[in-house]
Structure 1
């Protein structure tokens, strides 16, 4: 009797083991299928992961592209550029002052839309410890100067003709603005056009 029971027990245990492995593989397969479907769904409906040029990105709606980051403060990279009068200006020249650093171009509609408010801000803060630096990306000096002169803007404009500084600051869409505190740290970053009120809110964080 024991001789008959022992083989049955072995067969039963073996059968249970096979079922468990098969069942696990089936569940794993289902999980994989679900994961593949979810990834497929994400890729078909999620954000575009392709790299866009600055010019292509500039046509986006300013209100939809505006993002603010108040994460850990990051030291702003120093740079040296010339202004419209040919004078060399370094970011480090303004250590101990608050800096509103704006990247723009004359062909960018959202940039042009926020310029009047930047001029208003300049008029209200020119005697304070706030410095406004508007870095023009890619335009020829004559183009940038003509744009600024025609609109009677008075804030400081710097020329980044080869876009080397824009590259260092990872600019992929314009306008993009950085608000830098007196210690030279970036406190917030805004992608997209701003109103005067939004500019003041970010300045208040410095």
Structure 2
């Protein structure tokens, strides 16, 4: 009885060891062809409801320089970069340029209060079922995608952006 128990424990330990090793190895050595958007690739399409009550699609922004910013009111970095995004939106409003903020499944009241508090005038969309978040492979917030007018990703920035970084990337995006 005791030897059977010991054998079962060893087998369970080996199973856990093999599965753990596979999971760690897979995450460390996963190829870049995992389907997540990268520089030079096309961002996954989306169709999301905006706070304006309209459905917005990625295709609606074809031919424009586009900044896609994934954010949440719960995210300190998202809060600090929102005024800079708004400033960029107003500064480049006369160009073929758009900023789209995709909120990460918060309720409409929280989003609307945030928009009002920070006087956000660029487009805000709601990813209620987090389908778009998963398609874009987000790991942390904020995450910002810079999409050239030809529809390819110029750059991806993970984390809160300093104003100078934002200025530099948007200037490069508009020149593309």
TM-score greater than 0.5 by the shorter chain: yes
SS in structure 2 at match of 1:204: helix
Structure 1 unaligned blocks of 5 or more: 1-48, 51-70
Alpha-carbon contact 1:104-1:176 (below 8 Å) kept? yes
Residues of 2 paired with 1:148 and 1:72: CA distance? 30
Following TM superposition, the consecutive aligned residue runs of length 4 or more in structure 1 with deviations greater than 4 angstroms are: none
Q: Please name the residue that 1:81 is paired with.
A: 48
- Once residues 128 and 45 of structure 2 are traced to their aligned partners in structure 1, the CA distance between those partners, rounded to angstroms, is 17
Tell me which residue corresponds to 2:4: none
1:140 Cα deviation (Å)? 0.7
- TM-score, length-scaled by structure 2: 0.74
Residue 124 of structure 1 corresponds to which residue in structure 2?
91
Task: Determine whether 1:101 maps to 2:68.
Answer: yes
Task: Name the TM-score, length of structure 1 as normaliser.
Answer: 0.64
Does the 8 A contact of 1:121 with 1:196 survive in 2? Answer: no
For 1:174, the equivalent position in structure 2 comes to 141
- Structure 2 residue aligned with 1:152: 119
Separation in structure 1 between the aligned mates of residue 119 and residue 149 of structure 2, nearest angstrom: 29
Q: Report the aligned-residue RMSD.
A: 1.6
Aligned pair count?
138
Please say if residues 82 and 118 of structure 2, whose CA atoms lie closer than 8 Å, have aligned partners that are also in contact. Answer: no
